[in-house]
Structure 1
């Protein structure tokens, strides 16, 4: 048994060594995922997204016209496949008949809108840190990135509002809608990386990460209505609002983990020699090596 165990261990080590030699990208990806700390980044991003999305819904219900509120309600319904209790709760917030009341507008107020925008930039900053870690770039200054945080939130609000129409191809075909959603997701994540990285990485090297992220999110968006409504309604009926909050936060963590994984994997793929030659990926910038003696450098 000991001989068999030692033989099995030797075979496993040899298999790993051969895999690392033949497919070095796997080793690079695992090392980079550990350095980026994907799960921690995804959890923080999900928390910031949730803390941004909930106040934005209340602001939207208080200041947006009825047509825009109905469009957002339709998009969220198509995106998550909401029905039953969950759909009724969303309708209470967004599908109010007529214009928002003066009392509700006064409750939200200008100060509330400003506080929501400040909170929303925290989500943008979390996404920016994720992109910078994936590309091993230093943190950019607030003067350069501040307007980009607001622009990113605004673009995503437009994207969420259009997702219902994209999924149905503006009422033409569901299959065409899946294709339109995929193209929109790829374009959005391509632009997101370029924007939040403050144009420090050229467009082409960002394409692998955008394609991976767009593909993964499109699959999750089209399959979410198959199981998410049942889980959400069960949690809402059994545990009330807290159950729905837990379910939505778990779903957000899943989405953010997929985003973190795909963006990081895209950076690794773009820096592989065979891809870097075709995409023009710049060499990673690292700290200058320290001197250990006269005319000698410490090996990296």
Structure 2
């Protein structure tokens, strides 16, 4: 089939060349280890409105019937967290969280076969992406309800926001070395894929979480959330990788203003 359909062959080759599962596992691990402490610190020091928005967004992503009492207790532990973290602790947590930005940047560079950016050039981009990611996360709950306009408007706004977020993510982390238009296919794939994943999570995660908690106790959260993150990261890595193949295949190179592959010339 890859011989008869070169585009499919290139897609399979791209997934293999970027070590799809390995890259997804690393990205999921960095999300769990780097992003979670950042969110706990944010919830501890931020106003109550932001903490409530964070809890609402998490509830929206895993389903309205999902048991999130432990998550709410963790995010609400302001006193203990403030005592444990000083100004230096907050700075260290923020810098540590850039490991997630660096891991995602590495994925994007590998998908587009670009050399690694220097730390001095990319450092501000890691922080900028983190801030943008946190802002988008805080809006998830409100977006799902369409800012009061209903679920259909919410679905449309969520899709547009996801596409724009992943379009900006690729351009930012690649340091502008790839133009905006070539990055659009990957952004569309990632946006559609992640929105579909989020809505499917709302259907399956509540029952899965309840079953895991009943079987493993509080550790059930860890097992289930790691599996959930891994699945989402698989969608992200595959979308960016396949988006690069789409951008240089068929009629897209001409439309996007980039050179096509030899098979398509």
Please, what TM-score do these two structures have when normalized by structure 1? Answer: 0.83
Structure 2: 5+ residue stretches without partners: none
Which of the numbers 122, 142, 147 marks the counterpart of 1:165?
142
Offset of residue 31 of structure 1 = 1.1
Deviations along 1:198-249, one digit per CA (max 9) or x if unpaired, are: 0000000000000000001111111211110111122123212222101100
CA contact (8 A) 1:202 1:281 kept: no
CA distance in 1 between counterparts of 2:3 and 2:81 reads 60
Structure 1: 5+ residue stretches without partners: 1-15, 285-300
* 2:67 pairs with 1:89: no
Residue number in structure 2 paired with 1:248: 225
Residue number in structure 2 paired with 1:276: 253
CA distance in 2 between counterparts of 1:104 and 1:25 reads 51
Paired residues for 1:189-204 under 5 Å: 189-204=166-181
CA distance in 1 between counterparts of 2:214 and 2:88 reads 35
How many residues get paired?
Answer: 261
Deviations along 1:38-59, one digit per CA (max 9) or x if unpaired, are: 1000000000000123212320
* 2:113 pairs with 1:149: no
Offset of residue 283 of structure 1 = 7.2
* 2:36 pairs with 1:61: no
Deviations along 1:260-291, one digit per CA (max 9) or x if unpaired, are: 0010000011112521111012579xxxxxxx
* 2:238 pairs with 1:261: yes
CA contact (8 A) 2:26 2:103 kept: yes
Residue number in structure 2 paired with 1:111: 88
Residue number in structure 2 paired with 1:45: 27
Offset of residue 82 of structure 1 = 4.8
* 2:10 pairs with 1:33: no
CA distance in 2 between counterparts of 1:95 and 1:118 reads 23
Deviations along 1:141-170, one digit per CA (max 9) or x if unpaired, are: 111100000000110000000010001001
